[in-house]
Structure 1
Amino acid sequence: MSMIFFTSVVRVRDGLPLSASTDFYHAPAFLESRRRLKALAVQLAQHPGRGSAESQDFRIHFSSAGDVACMAICSRQCPAAMAFCFLETLWWEFTSSFDTTRVSLASRPYAFLEFDSTIQKVKRHFNHASASQMQSSLEKVQEELDFRPPVVLSLEETDAAGRLANGHVPVLLEPAPTFRMEPVTALGVLSLVLNIMCAALNLIRGVHLAEHSLQVAQEEIGNILAFLIPFVACVFQCYLYLFYSPGRTAKVLLLLLFICLGNAYLHGLRNLWQILFHVGVAFLSSHQILTRQLQEKQSDCSV
């Protein structure tokens, strides 16, 4: 018997539907649940993490991380562990298929409707797999739910909150899931060390030049900025390598551009080999940032 009836992938910041299952049921209770799911979607930024909303015939579950959330309408008989395991699996499938930049730039509803085939595959697996097949996965998710219960919302309150501009409805907040990166590699450690070295050189030269320029002349302010801006860019490169950040590709390219332009501006103060060293370290760090990905799964939920 089907327990998961409808699924939607939405953008958290504004509730824009990115993709959804094409299943459609004409039962009035189901149509009402879909209407309330849409109302809840625009409020997801207020409810980070996991949450549920109950009606007489269905339950709406949601799980969000970063800028993407997955939502599902399930039967009341569907175990919460199964619903959240399904949503987590779907979240990983979506985020591994579409770049965060594309998600951020999406301007029309259902811009990723082709993802429906994956939704159907995952939904079919969870609706028809036996309990023994998913036992270990469900037990792990259930432990997480026992340790950190999901937010429980009233659909009536959700409707009211959607109509109130000042948002008087109290909200229980739950920390969003932590992103886990792949282990640091030896080449990654080397890029960090070299990046820190470049940052230190830029900071020392920039501060020394600033002390001299403030006492002697103001025309060297461009050289000071050409040292300090790459210093800041190097520090942010280290941060992007160590920690996950949405839109990493755009940020990495912007930082790389700042470092290259800063070193080009310093052509008179640095020789060619020094410039090539700083630019080469910047390219190595950028490569390491872009190749270090999120771990494939946060839990054992699998299709």
Structure 2
Amino acid sequence: MSVILFAFVVRVRDGLPLSASTDFEHNRELQQRKQQIKTISKALARFPDRGTIKGQELNIYFVSSEGVSYMTVCHCSLPVAKAFCFLEDLRWEFTACFKSTVVALAARPYPFLEFDSIIQKLKQQYNHSGGPALEVTLAEVQEELRIHPPQVINLDEVELTNGTANGHMEQGPGSGQNQRLEPVTAPGILSLILNIMCASLNVIRGVHLMEYTFQDDYESIWNVVAFLLAFACCVFQCHLYLFHSSVKKLKCFTLLSVIVLCNLHLLGLRNAWQLLFHVSVASLSTVLILTRKVQDRTSDCGV
């Protein structure tokens, strides 16, 4: 059984992936740990040079040195000292292959994928022989860990700090362009068309009623507000369906509630079928917004 399952090399200052091991295992927990590694890599600058994240069966270990962090996912049966010994060997090999200036100037993700061949050799050595070739290296790492034990990091705190939940990145202001939702479906296109139709009907009726309201005694001002507010909610529903947003569920139900209340207020200006149409379109949009998830991106560059 393999005890070292995945290795990842990343630049500390910005979390740029430099290299990673290619693997063909479809272990569910492994995929979760790989996604969590990529989340943690965005916050490495705030962490000490050595850390551990405990899992159910798989643990994450990392070592940072000279602006580069070396991370791995290992089975919990692997001794901690051997995991960090593997990372030290990985660090030694990487620094021997790539100069710090080249690493600092890297601009695209995974510029050193050829390093995977060396990662695979190290993994095979540890998985088959049970550890490094030199016992003195393991003894040195054990002594270092005894004097300076790695910090145990709470993954929940990392995810909260980075605005993540359940392995998906939750976007902050100005970063929504980095998220990709699942492809738009045929029902989604239909809901967009119907929402645009409802928005158009609301704004036309609102503007038309506004002309008469300003000419008379302003008694219908609240009807104008209801039409225009329903128009704004329809437009915002389209936005929520097309783009990722935080607290999406709260926004969805708030918009649906406002649309229902506006149409109830307009009961005298619309018949029952018209009210049912507007509420049904809003309800359909709400369901489709809530069911359109963030696209899974665990297979970055095939690693």
Asked if structure 2 preserves the Cα contact closer than 8 Å seen for 1:55 and 1:155, the reply is no
Which has the larger Rg? 2
How far the C-alpha of 1:92 sits from its partner, in A, is 1.2
How far the C-alpha of 1:130 sits from its partner, in A, is 4.1
Q: Equivalent residue for 1:36?
A: 36
TM-score by length of 2: 0.52
Q: Equivalent residue for 1:48?
A: 48
How far the C-alpha of 1:26 sits from its partner, in A, is 1.4
Count, aligned residues: 165
Map Cα deviations across residues 249-288 of structure 1 (whole Å, 9 max, x no partner): xxxxxxxxxxxxxxxxxxxxxxxxxxxxxxxxxxxxxxxx
Asked if structure 2 preserves the Cα contact closer than 8 Å seen for 1:57 and 1:75, the reply is yes
How far the C-alpha of 1:101 sits from its partner, in A, is 1.3
TM-score by length of 1: 0.52
Q: Residue type of the partner of 2:110? A: Y
Q: Equivalent residue for 2:156?
A: 156
How far the C-alpha of 1:131 sits from its partner, in A, is 5.8
How far the C-alpha of 1:132 sits from its partner, in A, is 9.1
Q: Aligned pair in 2 of structure 1 residues 61, 130: CA closer, same or farther (>3 Å)?
A: closer
Map Cα deviations across residues 133-190 of structure 1 (whole Å, 9 max, x no partner): 553322221111010001111222221121189xxxxxxxxxxxxxxxxxxxxxxxxx
Q: Residue type of the partner of 1:111? A: P
Q: Secondary structure at the match of 2:162?
A: helix
Q: Distance in 2 between matches of 1:163 and 1:145?
A: 31
Asked if structure 2 preserves the Cα contact closer than 8 Å seen for 1:70 and 1:90, the reply is yes
How far the C-alpha of 1:24 sits from its partner, in A, is 3.2
Q: Distance in 2 between matches of 1:133 and 1:120?
A: 16
Asked if structure 2 preserves the Cα contact closer than 8 Å seen for 1:53 and 1:155, the reply is yes
**Of 70-79 and 134-143, the range deviating more from structure 2:** 134-143
Is 1:116 paired with 2:108? no
Matches within 5 A, 1:138-149: 138-149=138-149
Q: Secondary structure at the match of 2:136?
A: helix
How far the C-alpha of 1:21 sits from its partner, in A, is 0.3
Q: Distance in 1 between matches of 2:101 and 2:73?
A: 28
Matches within 5 A, 1:168-207: none
Matches within 5 A, 1:1-303: 1-130=1-130, 133-163=133-163
Q: Aligned pair in 2 of structure 1 residues 79, 22: CA closer, same or farther (>3 Å)?
A: same
Asked if structure 1 preserves the Cα contact closer than 8 Å seen for 2:125 and 2:132, the reply is no
Asked if structure 2 preserves the Cα contact closer than 8 Å seen for 1:48 and 1:65, the reply is no
Unmatched 5+ stretches in structure 2 = 165-169, 171-303
Asked if structure 1 preserves the Cα contact closer than 8 Å seen for 2:12 and 2:69, the reply is yes
Q: Distance in 2 between matches of 1:129 and 1:37?
A: 26
Asked if structure 2 preserves the Cα contact closer than 8 Å seen for 1:22 and 1:116, the reply is yes
Q: Distance in 2 between matches of 1:41 and 1:116?
A: 18
Q: Residue type of the partner of 1:88? A: E
Q: Distance in 1 between matches of 2:24 and 2:43?
A: 24
Asked if structure 1 preserves the Cα contact closer than 8 Å seen for 2:60 and 2:72, the reply is yes
**Of 133-142 and 5-14, the range deviating more from structure 2:** 133-142
Q: Percent identity?
A: 47
How far the C-alpha of 1:5 sits from its partner, in A, is 0.1
Q: Distance in 2 between matches of 1:109 and 1:131?
A: 30
Q: Distance in 2 between matches of 1:28 and 1:46?
A: 28
Q: Residue type of the partner of 1:2? A: S
Q: Distance in 2 between matches of 1:21 and 1:108?
A: 17
Q: Secondary structure at the match of 1:24?
A: coil
Q: Distance in 2 between matches of 1:94 and 1:131?
A: 19
Q: Distance in 2 between matches of 1:57 and 1:81?
A: 17
Q: Secondary structure at the match of 2:153?
A: strand
Q: Secondary structure at the match of 1:23?
A: coil
Q: Secondary structure at the match of 1:108?
A: coil
Asked if structure 1 preserves the Cα contact closer than 8 Å seen for 2:82 and 2:138, the reply is yes
**Of 111-120 and 150-159, the range deviating more from structure 2:** 150-159
Asked if structure 2 preserves the Cα contact closer than 8 Å seen for 1:3 and 1:77, the reply is yes
Q: Secondary structure at the match of 2:82?
A: helix
Map Cα deviations across residues 95-132 of structure 1 (whole Å, 9 max, x no partner): 11111111111111110000000111111111111469
Asked if structure 2 preserves the Cα contact closer than 8 Å seen for 1:15 and 1:41, the reply is yes
Q: Distance in 1 between matches of 2:96 and 2:138?
A: 22
Q: Distance in 1 between matches of 2:41 and 2:58?
A: 16
Unmatched 5+ stretches in structure 1 = 166-303
Asked if structure 1 preserves the Cα contact closer than 8 Å seen for 2:85 and 2:132, the reply is no
